[in-house]
Amino acid sequence: MTDSIKVLISEEKVNQRIEELASTISKEYEGKTVHLICVLKGSIFFTCELAKRLTVPVTLDFMSVSSYGDGTASSGRVKIVKDLDEAVDGKNVIVIEDIIDSGRTLSYLMDLLGARKPASLKLCTLLDKPERRVTEVKVDYIGFEIPDKFVVGYGLDYAQNYRNLPYVGVIEE
């Protein structure tokens, strides 16, 4: 794909903000192990960058859910493509997401995980698009609030492309 992409948040700014989030989380979880849940595929890059900067012990698991398919609009249906490998009961879980848009994916996922009795359950997202919310979801850690624009990069795709861009960009019309 060869769309023209405008930088919305530079690589430097994203990395600096991740550093700040990691420092906040490390302080809040001192003396505990955090169990990070990476929501595939979008949050893979953010999860790695955040995990590398945490100073508390970390365990990791992966879950894959999909509601966007290859388009730019949510289908409204959340599909579990891959469930977790391990139980979360008794663990201090932080769900890591790349973006919260309509809120449907995360509201579904947080309810599902909450019912599995973790010791604690929080949500951390790199990007939040509050204007687009249709389902309420409590977000504990937010990297950046962004306007209502379809973004790519840092894990986010358009029809599976552009996930590997080291910055957050917007496709120009």
Q: Write down the least CB distance from residue 73 to ligand HPA, Å.
A: 9
62 binds ligand PRP (CB under 6 A): no
Q: How far is CA 2 from CA 79, 161, 171, 172, in A?
A: 29, 10, 10, 11
Among 101, 103, 137, 154, binds ligand HPA (CB under 6 A): 101
Q: Which residue is nearest to ligand PRP (CB)?
A: 42
37 binds ligand PRP (CB under 6 A): no
151 binds ligand HPA (CB under 6 A): yes
Give which of 94, 92, 156, 93 is closest to 128, Cα–Cα. Answer: 156
Q: How far is CA 10 from CA 45, 95, 153, 169, in A?
A: 15, 24, 10, 8
Among 84, 157, 163, 171, binds Mg ion (CB under 5 A): 157
DSSP 88-108: -TTSEEEEEEEEESSSHHHHH
- CB count in 10 Å sphere of residue 30: 8
Give the pairing type, strands 168-171 and 151-152. antiparallel
151 binds, among ligand PRP, Mg ion, ligand HPA, none (CB under 5 to 8 A by kind): ligand HPA
96 binds ligand PRP (CB under 6 A): no
Nearer to ligand HPA, 95 or 152 (CB): 152
Q: Which stretch binds ligand PRP (CB under 6 A): 3-11, 98-106, 112-120, 146-154?
A: 98-106
> Can the peptide bond before residue 32 be classed as cis, meaning omega within 30 degrees of 0?
no
Q: Write down the least CB distance from residue 55 to ligand PRP, Å.
A: 26
- CB count in 10 Å sphere of residue 131: 11
Contact positions toward ligand PRP, by CB under 6 A?
A: 39-42, 66-68, 74, 97-106, 157
